[in-house]
Chains A and B, each alone.
Chain A
Amino acid sequence: MTAGGILRRFASLIPVWLGVSALAFALGTLAPGDAAEMLLQRRTGEPPTQQAVLQMRHQLGLDAPVPVRYLRWLGAALRGDLGTSLRSGSPVIEDLSGRFPATLELSLAALLLGLCVALPLGIGAARRRGSIVDHGARTFAIVGASMPSFLSGYLLILIFAVGLHALPVAGRGGLAHLILPSITLALGFAAALTRLTRAALLEELGQDYVRTARAKGLSERVVVLRHALRIALVPVLTFAATRFGHLLAGAAIVEAVFAWPGIGKHIVDSIYDRDYPAIQGFVLFMGTVFVLLNLAVDLAYRAIDPRVGQREDRWAS
């Protein structure tokens, strides 16, 4: 991708930001419930008076018309200020940056684990179609994809923490604390990636260029790893990158099961309490993460398959 292409991709962030922020704002406003009321109720543990709610709405600026609130928020966001969380009283950016590292750590571990399991398994299954490796990989893919993460989490805790006393049950600490939650989070991802790797590689192995390579007397290892896998990796990489975004955004259940202090639980609480600035900030943040991941994938395409870059350059010229 040329520098212009990268710039264009960055420019595409702006409509994405506008779109997701407007959507999140609209959804948040349409949802029943009142941030001021929730805030007051949390303070005292009892339903607030109408007068107190009205005062709080005014204090928080929630009594202004929705478009005005949105434009105010947008103006501040453009200046790099995502606002102040109604729940925590801290700048939204501080809340996000304070909790995101824990989620990133968990998601990265899950991504690496998933790749380490799924790629060899998928490749092995494709190379030895119909073998025990293939059957094993397919069984793993079905079980992994169909098992809800809370259930696999509990099972792993039962076996490794309660039964074997080998790993901690919950909380964030050293490497030991990371193992069970990352396996749980990786399971569904690895299962889907195994299937995809197998299917993509099988498709490539049936192509003419592979037959030609074999006819030329290249070893099977070279045919698979240097030629077929290279092309098969394109959809695999796309999938892995987009799923990484989902791992980041969707770790809430795993975080709850393992009492992992990440962003997932924080954002679920924010939604429950109608903390609009926090929700907006999160949506914007995750939208950016997704766009950047897609950009990274595009750049990686060029490294894997130079034809992608050539095609794009032709279109650009």
Chain B
Amino acid sequence: MLNLVFALALAAVPQQLVVAAGPDSSPSGAFQARLGVYPLNVNVAEPLVRMTPDFRVEPQLATSWEYLGKNTWRFHLRKGVRFHDGQPLTAEAVRYSIAQQVKGGFTSFPVKEDAVRAVDPLTVDFTTTEPDLRLPEQLVHPNYSIFAPGSDPRTKPVGTGPFKFIEYRPYDHIKVERNNDYWGEKPRLDKILFRFVPDATTRVLALLAGEVDLIMDLPREQIAAVQARPDLHVVRASVGQMLSLQLNAHGKLPHDLLSDRAVRRAVALSLDRRQLVHDIWRDEAEVLRTMTVAAILGKFAGQLHGFDHQPAEADRLLNEAGWKRTAGGIRSKAGRPLQLALIANPEMDAAAVELIQAQLRLAGIGTRWDRLPDIASFAARGNAGDCDLNLAAANQNDANPLFLPALIYYSKSPRPFVRFYAVGTAFDKIVDAGLAAAPPDEARRLAADAMRLATDEEAIQVPIAGLFRIYAASSSVAGFVPHPSQTNQSWTAVYRK
């Protein structure tokens, strides 16, 4: 009876939602972006596997999978699933989609265009060119969504998702409608209009004016204004974005000061992360102790300590290393000042960088912040190792716990910046073992081991803070459960009261 009343009440409210998203990244067609998939996921298409908010892998279009050996994974597809154009989901569709993604340069693991082979209509074999036991954890990324053969995901995506694509206007909006034939839990909304509003303040104003129902990435300084309104509410996702300092441990003169582990540890111990979290992010973040989100490491996250604020210990380490305070406050050794070049992701809050500089200065460590105008210049400086400290932001968008260790600190990673941050042979051996470990729990344990080496012991990576994703919505919006990885957000359970 209650269910009936609820259903009737729901039917009386128009089930349409207007979402204000950030800037439109989709017009970047040369990136052969899958429209409505990444970074904004409007749920038109789905990958073989999905990632839960606690970073575990669950079945999606594949119901089960197993490793066959010889770099090959077998995936068994869900029966009875149809694309929005009526075509059935088959092994051929998976082969077509993955081949297109490989061709477009979308894959972040070692594969060729013929990576997927149809075994039978509902079974595919996925073969990588190198051993990759983390493949199912990587395939949760929406970039590996499956599209109907013959469709063009750049302009009119035809997937199997809970919502069907209706319309896209570059820089303006994407509109989707309910897929009544969805194989899984039916969406509760009839339509969603995703409007691209690049300016965060304008998004808030649009919400205050009642022009949109939900906004993504609410600026922290405007939380109070939204909370003061009885018709609005704030929703937070747990940590999905991490800020950390990468210390150039193998730089050449003049960026060789952090080759001394004692100085690196002193930098790490001089930082007061609680103050940063409180003063800069208004407690809408948490002190980070791991390289990535703690949830992905499960029970092994407890093995990592990170760094507490210990100025006396930092002082001792620097004094022992011969760095003496001078009258100007900045330490020096043999006439050379302890002055570090700092670069920061241009999207980083400037106040955070300035507070870090101030905290380091208290320890007698001088920093020169080279402000960079955009990501391209930031990447160029980082790749060249033309800095001592690199304040970087990272998102965890797949379920692979070794994603960041293997990307940045693993000497076999073919990225140009790795030579400045490589932790060493012991670290590489652990990552190798982790990449080759079949049980996910073993990979988590090894990932935690690798992070302990890079962070707690070598202080090449210094975790700073994990930021919450913050959303604001009209009080008529219910059922919205934010995913810490924004690109894995599901809109199925959302409805209007």
Contacts and interface: CB of A to CB of B under 8 A. Distances in A.
Interface string A268-284: 01011110000000000
A154 to B, nearest CB: 6
Contacts of B381: 32
A172 B196 CA distance: 11
A169 B31 CA distance: 31
A218 to B, nearest CB: 52
Interface string B407-430: 100000111110000000000000
A244 B108 CA distance: 46
Interface stretch (B197-205, B304-312, B332-340, B449-457): B197-205
A88 B169 CA distance: 14
Given A31-B377, A256-B198, A46 B108 contact: yes
Interface string B387-423: 0000000010100000000010000011111000000
Interface stretch (B207-215, B251-259, B283-291): B207-215
B31 A87 contact: yes
Interface in B173-213: 173, 195-199, 201-202, 205-206, 208-211
B380 A33 contact: yes
A51 interface: yes
A63 to B, nearest CB: 16
Given A172-B172, A273-B376, A259 B202 contact: yes
Contacts of A217: none
Given A33-B377, A89-B29, A46 B199 contact: no
Contact of B29 (A38, A47, A88): A88
B114 to A, nearest CB: 19
Interface string A31-66: 111110111111111111111100010000000000
A89 B170 CA distance: 14
B265 to A, nearest CB: 26
Interface in B4-37: 23, 25, 27-33
Contacts of A259: 171-172, 195-199, 202
A281 to B, nearest CB: 14
Contact of A265 (B143, B171, B206, B383): B171
A278 B414 CA distance: 30
Given A261-B170, A265-B198, A37 B376 contact: yes
A157 B205 contact: yes
Contact of A169 (B143, B171, B211): B211
A41 B417 CA distance: 14
Contacts of B374: 33, 271-272
Of the four ranges (under 10, 10 to 19, 20 to 34, 35 or more), the interface on chain A belongs to: 35 or more
Interface stretch (A140-148, A160-168, A224-232): A160-168
Contacts of A88: 27-30
Nearest to A44: B108
A86 interface: yes
B106 interface: yes
Interface in B340-379: 374-377, 379
B209 A47 contact: no
Given A44-B143, A259-B199, A161 B31 contact: no
Interface in B34-88: 38-39
A35 B30 CA distance: 12
Interface string A88-119: 11100000001100000000000000000000
A170 interface: yes
Contacts, number: 153
A178 to B, nearest CB: 14
A213 B209 CA distance: 56
Given A165-B210, A171-B172, A43 B31 contact: yes
A47 B30 contact: no
Nearest to B381: A32
Interface hub of B38, B143, B205 (most chain A Cβ within 10 A): B205
Contacts of B397: 45
A260 to B, nearest CB: 8
A256 B22 CA distance: 11
A169 B205 contact: yes
Nearest to B141: A45
A60 to B, nearest CB: 9
Given A89-B32, A171-B172, A158 B195 contact: no
Nearest to B30: A89
Given A42-B25, A88-B29, A165-B210, A272 B380 contact: no
B201 A154 contact: yes
A169 B414 contact: no
B105 interface: yes
Given A31-B377, A44-B143, A90-B29, A158 B205 contact: yes
A162 B30 contact: no
Contacts of B100: none
A79 to B, nearest CB: 22
Interface in A116-168: 150, 154, 157-158, 161-162, 165, 168
B172 A261 contact: yes
A266 interface: yes
Interface in B228-261: none
A256 B199 contact: yes
A290 interface: no
A259 B195 CA distance: 9
B275 interface: no
Contacts of A46: 108, 407
Contacts of A257: 199, 201-202
A258 interface: yes
B319 interface: no
A258 B377 contact: no
A98 B209 CA distance: 30
Contacts of B170: 98-99, 261
Given A31-B377, A46-B108, A158-B205, A39 B31 contact: yes
Interface hub of A41, A56, A87 (most chain B Cβ within 10 A): A87
Interface string A303-315: 0000000000000
A272 B375 contact: yes
B104 interface: yes
B171 A42 contact: no
A197 interface: no
B107 interface: yes
Given A32-B377, A161-B209, A271-B374, A43 B202 contact: no
Contacts of B27: 87-88, 266
26 contacts: A32-B380, A32-B381, A33-B374, A39-B30, A42-B25, A44-B108, A49-B413, A85-B30, A88-B27, A89-B32, A154-B205, A157-B205, A161-B206, A162-B208, A165-B209, A169-B205, A169-B211, A170-B197, A170-B206, A257-B199, A261-B172, A265-B171, A269-B23, A269-B28, A271-B374, A273-B376
Given A38-B375, A50-B415, 18 more contacts: A32-B381, A33-B380, A38-B376, A42-B28, A43-B105, A45-B38, A47-B407, A85-B30, A89-B30, A90-B30, A154-B201, A154-B202, A169-B202, A256-B198, A257-B202, A258-B202, A261-B171, A261-B172
Across the A-B interface, give the 6 residue pairs with the lowest CB-CB distance, nearest first.
Answer: A33-B376, A261-B171, A89-B30, A49-B414, A32-B380, A169-B206
